[in-house]
Amino acid sequence: MVTAEEIVCCEALPLLSLNHISLLCRSVRESARFYEHVLGFVLIKRPSSFDFNGAWLFNYGTGIHLIENPSLAQNEIEPEPRPINPKDNHISFLCSDVELVKRRLQAMGMRYVTAVVEEGGVKVDQVFFHDPDGYMIEICTCDKIPILPIASRIAGCSTCSLPLDKQLRRADNGGGIASGRGSCGRFLENVMMESLSLDMMNFSF
C-alpha cells in the first residue's frame, strides 16, 4: 500500500480535465430521461462494442455515463424516499438563477432541500435533490466564492508568495504562473483554468 508520505513526494498525474461521471442505475431509460429533461443533458452515441445496456449523455463540458445494473431492479420494492442530506456524496452544477431552479423543480413535483453557505459576506444558494436512483444532485451559485489556493500547498515559491495581483501580472509577462515552471506554478495555472471552466459551465433553466 502506498503511504501518504510517498504520495506527497510524487508529482501529480498529468490530467487535463474531468471527462465523465459513471453511474449504475436500475433503468437506463428512466435515468436518461431524468438527465435529459431535468438537467438538460443530451444523449450521445456510445461505442457499439459495448455488450451491456447503458447510455452516454453530455453537456456543460462533462459527460454522464449510465450503466444499467439488473441486480438493482431484482425483487425491487418501491423504496421509501431517502432523506435529502446535503452532506451526502453529490454532483454539483452551477446555475444563474436558483429561484427559477426551485420553481421548475416544484412544477416537476420533485422533492428538494435548500441551504445557504456564507463566506466573507458572500452568500451561496444551494438546492439538493435526488435522481431516480437516489444519487444526490446539487444546483448552486458556488462561483460567487473565489477559488484560492491553500497557502501550505504553495509555500516556498517566490511567485506564489506574491500578492495575487502581482502573480497575475507576472503571468501576463510570461513568467511564474503562465509559464507553469515548477509544481506550484502548474497548480495555480490549474486553479485559474478551473475558475474559467466554472464560469463557462454556468447554465440557466
Domain locations along the chain? 16-68, 81-145, 151-200
Task: Tell the residue number behind the cell numbers 506550484, with chain if given.
Answer: 184
Put simply, whether the predicted model's pTM sits higher than 0.85 gets the answer: no
**1-8 contacts, C-beta under 8 A, 24 or more apart:** none
Q: Do the Cβ atoms of 28 and 131 come closer than 8 Å?
A: no
Q: Is 6 a catalytic residue?
A: no
Rg (CA), the chain: 21
Q: Do the Cβ atoms of 134 and 88 come closer than 8 Å?
A: no
Per-position pLDDT tens, the chain of length 205: 667 666 767 788 999 999 999 999 999 999 999 999 999 999 999 999 999 999 999 999 999 999 999 887 665 655 567 899 999 999 999 999 999 999 999 999 999 999 999 988 999 999 999 999 999 999 999 999 888 888 655 544 444 444 555 545 554 555 444 434 444 555 555 555 555 444 444 443 3
Instruction: Identify the CA nearest to 35 among candidates 106, 126, 132, 140.
Output: 132
Catalytic residue among 68, 80, 138, 194: 138
CATH superfamily of 81-145: 2,3-Dihydroxybiphenyl 1,2-Dioxygenase, domain 1 (3.10.180.10)
Q: CATH class for domain 16-68?
A: alpha beta
The answer for residues whose C-beta is within 8 angstroms of residue 192's C-beta and 6 or more apart is 177
